Amino acid sequence: MRSLPNLRVRNLGILAHVDAGKTTVTERILFLTGAVHKRGEVHDGTTVTDFDPQERERGITISSAAVSASWDGHRLAVVDTPGHVDFSDEVERALRVLDGAVAVFDAVAGVEPQSETVWRQADRHGVPRIAFVNKMDRAGADLDATVAAIRARLGAVALPVQLPVGREDGFRGVVDLVRMRAYVWDGGGRVETEVPARLREEALRRRRDLEERVAELHPDALEEFCADGALSDGTLARALRALTLAGTAVVVLCGSAYRDRGVEPLLDAIVAYLPAPADRPPVGGRERAADPHAPLVALAFKVHATPTGRMTYVRVYEGALSKGDTVLDTATGRTERISRVLRVQADRTAEVSVALAGDIVAVVGPKTVRAGATLCAPHAPVVLEPPVTAAPVVSVAVEARRSTDTGRLSAGLARLAEEDPSLVVRTDPETGQTVLSGLGELHLEVAVERLRRDRDLEVTVGRPQVAYRETVVRGVTGLLHRHVKQDGGAGQFAHVVLDVAPLGGEEEFAFTSTVTGGRVPQEYVRAVEAGCRDALADGPLGGHPVTGVRVTLTDGATHPKDSSELAFRTAGRSALREALRASVLTLLEPVAEVTVTVPAESVGAVLGDLAARRGRITDSRVRGGTSVVTATVPLAELFGYATRLRGRTQGRGTFTTRPAGYEPLKA
């Protein structure tokens, strides 16, 4: 069915903070593997994976892009993911279907805020990864400092397997500590040599340190190390692969992708250490992973509308998917027909006859499949856990400038939400406005620009509003509520007594019952809990969702004929609303951790501006000749901050944000 078994397939993502060099690494992989014949550059707008006009204009990755390449007899499916926090949901969906990842770090900046975010995302999905410390040719580049930061800030067991040859502008190559060979790049391709004499002692010391660390973590390596006092190259390589697959350790390599130095060893490491589909745990209750002969199990993780039709990106976990197949969408219960199966190369596609277990492909034909849906054989239904979608925190009001375009605007917004589940479209019941919500100001900016370009719509955008929450500061006890309704026929009766109290920690809601003696049957207790959850949707302060509440059902009564689950659900909803009105509540606002990098002479102005925005400084340090300030700032105060920061630093300041939860709103 295919010449390459799935043991020779690597599905991997490139993860990093914005500007660490993810897209450049991906471009060099494509060039060195022969997938493209010209190097693409981010600053020239000629990259393969950043093909969207907005990506090329802004110089950032907005949407995950999949490309294919071949190396050493293996097929690599590489997904270049966004590095900006506003598009972290794209990373989440990609990680859900990938087997491994390469985390790229800036050798000067080290572990940056979004580096931590994507690392935690990979941890949640159990994705094995290796690290590539990029930009080793820059002034201030320091491999050891970056490795130390990976260990300290990410809690990872980082195992550097290379020693740089040269520093900063003089960076020429690397010493492979596993094979004890040097690779240098002097204007041409990779040249393999003996370890330079001046580096041999240092290389031997680092090799010894690597062997000791691996022996501490791997039992077979420990046995050989104790018996022989050293590890063979083969044992060391096998142990590193086993530790990577288990997530116990992270292999660290280094290089300069822009200068074409260190990418070939990275490709070798991808093949050597990252998992094949068959190395990952089986899904859907199967006995073994990536079985091409089992019934079909696939996960749709991305939907993309093209000028020629609708494409659905899927990861095939089990079985085979062919042109003409009929598949079951377990999310809707509908069957869909596959008219084409496509191998994707960013914005280009090539039709294939079949996709087997372990493949990531796009399919044409399904009309209603959404991201997160499971596609399977109709006779063997399976439901896979969908990717988690982040809750939106920023909203804008959107309306068409011409009333005749209202219908087209609705269709365009629906298409945006279909392609990007982290975008939510709703109608405000009080104002009647159409509200578009997303993960950040840039996220919404990009979405609105797509409406203007792709749909040729003139739209008016209102100032973004943040998503507030309400929480209980002081609750009430013994609140009694009786729900009685008689309007002919069977009536409704429910009697409940509730205690309401603040809930500590980050939990949103907790419900318990202390009713004894069967005064409220268990099915009615569950109905009361459902009613309480209904009441949390809009709080008494401003109609915002309520969080951080503990509700205890302490007593109640039933009627032999008129009590029902509906009556108790209604009573629970009304009782909690009444209890919240009697409690002391406060507003919570979303806050973000902001990391600002500025020249030293601009620090004072930046600190003053952050204070004016109700920011709380949490860290300030000097790194690489610049000052780095970290602060917690209310999200509502960050709109327009990019423009203000550029003005205060003559365009030299940069900042990144990441969500940091909710805090009480202060006047």
Annotated binding-site residues for GTP read 16-23, 80-84, 134-137
Annotated binding site: 16-23, 80-84, 134-137
Q: Can you point out the beta strands (E) in 291-393?
A: 297-306, 309-318, 320-322, 326-329, 334-337, 340-345, 348-352, 354-356, 360-364, 374-376
CA distance 249 to 50: 31
Whether the CB-CB separation of 62 and 446 falls below 8 Å is answered with yes
> Kindly report the CA angle at 294 between 289 and 298, in degrees rounded to 5?
70
Whether the CB-CB separation of 290 and 358 falls below 8 Å is answered with yes
CA distance 185 to 191: 6
CB hemisphere CA count around 260 (13 angstroms): 15
What DSSP string runs through 360-387? EEEEE--SS--TT-EEE-TTS---PPPP
Q: How far is CA 247 from CA 5, 510, 618, in A?
A: 24, 33, 31
CA distance 367 to 582: 49
Token pair 């979004």 is found at: 114
Whether the CB-CB separation of 36 and 306 falls below 8 Å is answered with no
> Kindly report the CA angle at 444 between 443 and 447, in degrees rounded to 5?
90
Token pair 């190559």 is found at: 173
Strands across the sheet with 360-364, in order? 334-337, 326-329, 374-376, 297-306, 309-318, 360-364, 340-345, 348-352
Token pair 């009536």 is found at: 491
